[in-house]
Amino acid sequence: MNYKNQHVFLCGFMGSGKSTLGRQLAKRMNRQFIDLDKFIENKVQKSIADLFKEQGEKTFRLLETRYLFEVIKIKQPAVVALGGGTACTALNLDIVKQNSIMVYISVSANELFERLRKSNTKRPLIKGLSPEALNLYIHRTLQEREPFYKQAHLQLNGSGLNDSQLFDAVRHYAP
């Protein structure tokens, strides 16, 4: 297996840096960058926030899976930032693992709390939560999701991680 003909998919919790790192990594690798949330927004011509508000999380999850499959079919290897919940079903996890080098950007619950507390968030799942409720949500949800995230081919500590280190890890995994 050679990283050159593989998609690189980044998974991890909201606020773990998937989009920022993904964009930088794509540039470094000379590839297209796809943010799955943005991809969905373009397809449905609606923001994720409006999608949640108008059609609920269930519909969002169906669309997320549908467009994940579309992204996977793209021939040209890309760098893809998944949404925080994308990898957390058996179906999605399997398809991602089988069709990419999957990387988990791991950030501790306490650091996620510090990051997400500061960002004036449009994220529908945590919008309007008090600091206490946000902290609880992060700890609980991360615990539920980590068994999925941890099945990625690579797990990197996202605290202080840069795109050059990320690229090295990908190359090392599939030279």
Provide, rounded to whole angstroms, the least separation between the CB of residue 99 and ligand S3P: 19
Consecutive H or E run containing 8: strand 7-11
Count of chain residues binding ligand S3P (CB under 6 A): 11
Of 13-21, 24-32, 132-140, 156-164, the segment contacting ligand S3P by CB under 6 A is: 13-21
- Specify whether the CB–CB gap between 3 and 170 falls below 8 A: yes
What are residue 9's DSSP bridge partners? 80, 102
- Going by C-alpha positions, the residue among 50, 161, 160 that lies closest to residue 103 is 161
Nearer to ligand S3P, 44 or 125 (CB): 125
Start-end of H helices in 73-162 = 90-99, 109-118, 131-149
Residues 107 to 126: which contact ligand S3P by CB under 6 A?
Answer: 123-125
Q: Give the nearest distance from C-beta 172 to ligand S3P in angstroms.
A: 26
18: nearest Cα among 168, 146, 147, 158: 158
Binding to ligand S3P in span 42-101, by CB under 6 A: 48, 83-85
* Alpha helix positions (H), 73-130: 90-99, 109-118
State which of residues 22, 37, 101, 135 lies at the interface with ligand S3P (CB under 6 A).
37
Instruction: With contacts defined by CB under 6 A, name the span among 14-22, 94-102, 152-160, 164-172 that binds ligand S3P.
Output: 14-22
Nearer to ligand S3P, 3 or 88 (CB): 88
Candidate list 6, 8, 9, 14; residue touching ligand S3P; CB under 6 A:
14
163 binds ligand S3P (CB under 6 A): no
Tokens of 70: 């579309």
CB atoms within 10 A of CB 67: 20
Applying CB under 6 A, the residues found at the interface with ligand S3P are: 14, 18-19, 37, 48, 83-85, 123-125
